[in-house]
């Protein structure tokens, strides 16, 4: 097969991925249009007419001015690629002038700066109130619980793309737009908050998807309210409680943040939160992450650190999980190493384990397309 035909196939794969995962309909309305900038194709083994092939497409770079997809072609059933391509797109307006990608497009990859107007509401849960984004309708719901020190905005790609499911993404106490109560809370209180939120939204049961600290909350939900959970997605998280060294580390972080503010935490955490390739190639993700961390109050950060420091160990709980479970991690996670996540998955009867390439601790932000595909397939398997 000649290179031009191969490029056409790759292009088809790119458009399919983009159309499935971003609001491409919003292009062409005066906002601009993505145009091909550069394509580099390396063919290591000829692809013949009649060969059955699989094209894997990954987003590897995104900034306001350029997005790049890396694609690999495999013969069906083989793991060594026969060709690889890097394709970059830039955005032009109707006059063909270069411009930044529309905010709505960047939002769909979880990295935009602005809220969708009206997307956040405040829901009363007893004497407490939670900021929450709810997308979609229907009985099939997914509750997305964010990690530390982040907020609901880390789920943007998934909340805009997993149509067909009601997507509920709250801010935990003291994070994002949810205020911090006057008294210290425990992770178990956050689990009760989540159930109060489901009640307030009239949602009987939901699939619970928690990342890292959100996973600690998911474990507490399972311990306390298992009848409200139809499936579990445990992303970049672990079941073990903090050991002595980790607790000491929490105290040091509390001291640092109290003395020097949230920017010091951003400096300390960003290199650990992101995988090396994301740190080098995804400046918008780094910026988005820094914004989320520095917009969190010192009190909110300190309260979350104290709650995590004293959380229960959930290792013994794992064997009791008898609902469909997906354990998801990033190959370059420096906070919860792949091995730890894999061991955890082995202890959950029937759990599926997926490790995402070129991602660190924040898989949904670093590899949004791969993660939404894996989560989308898991959710479909539950129907």
- What binding mask, one character per residue, do residues 349-368 give for ligand MLT by CB under 6 A, x or -? ------------x-------
By the rule CB under 6 A, 270 interacts with ligand MLT: no
Binding to ligand MLT, residues 302-321 (CB under 6 A): 308
Q: How far is the CB of 274 from ligand MLT (least distance, A)?
A: 11
| CB nearer ligand MLT, residue 147 or residue 300 | 147
Q: How far is the CB of 348 from ligand MLT (least distance, A)?
A: 19
By the rule CB under 6 A, 92 interacts with ligand MLT: no
Q: How many Cβ atoms sit within 10 Å of the Cβ of residue 240?
A: 14
| CB nearer ligand MLT, residue 68 or residue 344 | 344
Q: How far is the CB of 362 from ligand MLT (least distance, A)?
A: 8
Q: How far is the CB of 325 from ligand MLT (least distance, A)?
A: 19
Question: How far is residue 215's CA from residue 171's CA, in Å, rounded to a whole number?
Answer: 14
Helices (H), the chain: 3-21, 103-108, 156-161, 187-200, 213-225, 244-260, 262-273, 276-281, 283-294, 298-309, 338-347, 363-366, 368-382
Q: How far is the CB of 21 from ligand MLT (least distance, A)?
A: 24
Residue with the two structure tokens 């949230």 = 262
Q: How far is the CB of 206 from ligand MLT (least distance, A)?
A: 20
By the rule CB under 6 A, 300 interacts with ligand MLT: no
Q: How far is the CB of 33 from ligand MLT (least distance, A)?
A: 36
| CB nearer ligand MLT, residue 270 or residue 335 | 335
By the rule CB under 6 A, 219 interacts with ligand MLT: no
By the rule CB under 6 A, 148 interacts with ligand MLT: yes
Q: What's the token pair of residue 128?
A: 């407490």
Q: How many residues bind ligand MLT (CB under 6 A)?
A: 7
Closest to 213 in 3D by CA, of 140, 275, 301: 301
By the rule CB under 6 A, 212 interacts with ligand MLT: yes
- What binding mask, one character per residue, do residues 9-28 give for ligand MLT by CB under 6 A, x or -? --------------------
The one among 213, 233, 328, 344 contacting ligand MLT by CB under 6 A = 213
Question: How far is residue 337's CA from residue 333's CA, in Å, rounded to a whole number?
Answer: 5
Closest to 2 in 3D by CA, of 41, 57, 35, 56: 41
Angle formed at CA 215 by CA 209 and CA 220, multiple of 5 degrees = 105
CB 194 within 8 A of CB 219: no
| CB nearer ligand MLT, residue 162 or residue 213 | 213
CB 152 within 8 A of CB 176: yes
The interaxial angle of helices 298-309 and 187-200, nearest 10 deg, is 110
> Rounded to whole angstroms, what are the CA distances from 318 to 206, 220, 254, 331, 348?
19, 12, 30, 22, 5
Closest to 141 in 3D by CA, of 229, 20, 225, 214: 229
Q: How far is the CB of 147 from ligand MLT (least distance, A)?
A: 3
By the rule CB under 6 A, 335 interacts with ligand MLT: yes
The one among 147, 210, 262, 360 contacting ligand MLT by CB under 6 A = 147
Using CB under 6 A, list all residues that contact ligand MLT.
Answer: 147-148, 212-213, 308, 335, 361
């Amino acid at each position: 097969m000649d290179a031009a035909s191969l490029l056409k196939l790759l292009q088809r794969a790119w458009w399919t991925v983009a159309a499935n995962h971003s609001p491409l309909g919003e292009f062409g309305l005066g906002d601009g249009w993505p145009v091909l900038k550069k394509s580099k194709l390396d063919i290591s083994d000829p692809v013949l007419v009649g060969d059955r092939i699989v094209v894997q497409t990954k987003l590897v770079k995104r900034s306001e001015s350029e997005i790049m997809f890396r694609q690999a072609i495999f013969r069906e059933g083989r793991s060594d690629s026969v060709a690889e391509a890097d394709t970059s797109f830039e955005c032009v307006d109707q006059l063909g002038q270069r411009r930044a990608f529309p905010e709505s497009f960047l939002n769909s990859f979880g990295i935009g700066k602005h809220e969708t107007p009206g997307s956040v509401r405040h829901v009363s849960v007893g004497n407490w109130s939670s900021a929450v984004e709810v997308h979609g309708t229907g009985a099939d719901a997914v509750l997305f619980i964010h990690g530390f020190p982040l907020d609901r905005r880390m789920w943007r790609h998934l909340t805009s793309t997993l149509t067909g499911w009601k997507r509920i993404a709250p801010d935990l106490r003291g994070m994002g737009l949810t205020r911090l109560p006057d008294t210290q809370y425990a992770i178990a209180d956050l689990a009760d908050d989540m159930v109060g939120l489901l009640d307030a939204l009239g949602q009987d049961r939901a699939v619970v998807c928690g990342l890292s600290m959100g996973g600690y909350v998911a474990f507490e939900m399972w311990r306390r309210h298992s009848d409200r959970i139809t499936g579990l997605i445990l992303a970049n998280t672990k079941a073990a409680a903090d050991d002595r060294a980790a607790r000491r580390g929490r105290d040091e972080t509390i001291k640092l943040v109290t003395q020097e503010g949230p920017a010091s935490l951003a400096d300390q955490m960003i290199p650990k939160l992101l995988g090396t390739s994301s740190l080098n190639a995804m400046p918008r993700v780094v910026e988005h992450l820094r914004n989320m961390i520095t917009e969190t109050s010192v009190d909110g950060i300190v309260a979350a650190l104290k709650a995590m420091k004293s959380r229960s160990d959930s290792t013994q709980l794992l064997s009791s999980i008898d609902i469909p479970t997906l354990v998801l991690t990033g190959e370059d996670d420096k906070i919860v190493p792949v091995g730890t996540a894999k061991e955890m998955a082995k202890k959950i009867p029937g759990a599926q384990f997926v490790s995402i390439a070129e991602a660190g601790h924040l898989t949904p932000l670093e590899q949004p397309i791969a993660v939404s595909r894996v989560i989308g397939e898991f959710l479909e398997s539950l129907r």
